Amino acid sequence: MPEAGQSERLRGRVAVVTGGGSGIGRAVVDRFVAEGAALVVLELSEARAQALRDSCPEQVVVIVGDATRLEDNVAAVRAAVDTFGHLDSFVANTGYWDFGTTLVDLPDDARFDLAFQQLFDLNVKAFLAGAKSAHEALRATGGALVMTGSNASQHPGGGGPLYTASKHAVVGLVRQLAYELAPEVRVNAVAPGGMLTALTGPPALAHKARDISDLPMDELISTVSPLGFLPKPEDYVDWYVALASATEARTMTGAVIECDTGERVRGRAFSEYARARAGDLRAATVATPGAPGSGG
């Protein structure tokens, strides 16, 4: 595929990106801008929102809001249409990871229900809220709805049961919404593998004070991946550009693009190793004074 900024593959296109202040969301924002798109970014963190405002050009509008709230998604879509005249793509990209918390290790008290709600709200409800808010504007332009899945969308071992179930649910959303919104709107997902980001976990599982970068991700992924390297968020964004473009994915809807460096090929080894290392991290998190759930 062409290098960023050379082809302007999204020239004249307008997109909404949720969770665009960090990780793969920020990489998508930067790449979409380089490819000529105008953007509205929905970001929960005021600090990250301000960083976007400080570094992005005028064709990026940043809204502080909660992607799990339908009204905040509606506001983002309205801002896109009011500011730029239309909406061509909506990228649903928010999420928690459960740090591989197993069934046995899930809490036995009220935190069980809270952990489920927190993770599914951000990983599933937010995506449905985005689709609900954007579908009419996307129908008007023959646009695209793009969701962020995971290697855990397709097979076990990419997280614990909460995360894996939530990412399988994303696949269900993609397929059902592709069915409901055809032929006007294409609905697809990108399913990346491991990468080094600031991805955190639900506070009810005591993971809010840590993020995925606390894990030895380079060792984890490069050791067990057939391709032998740890991707950066930027390594995945070409797929988002293709799915959001007017021409490059015209034949695709209801599809999930697996781009996980082949993790599924060695899924068993990855699962056992990742689970062991995630268990070490959970123990360290609980022992950290002031960490959520630690009593500090």
Sheet of 186-192, strand order? 60-64, 38-43, 14-18, 89-92, 144-148, 186-192, 256-259
Mutual angle of helices 267-286 and 217-224, in 10-degree steps: 170
Question: Any bridge partners for residue 17, and if so which?
Answer: 41, 91
CA atoms of 189 and 138, how far apart (whole Å): 16
CA atoms of 188 and 209, how far apart (whole Å): 32
CA atoms of 169 and 22, how far apart (whole Å): 23
On whether the CB atoms of residues 256 and 189 are closer than 8 A, the answer is yes
Evaluated on CA atoms 46, 195, 24, 200, the torsion sign reads negative
Q: Show which residues are catalytic.
A: 163
For residue 208, CA distances in Å to 48, 146, 288 come to 17, 26, 12
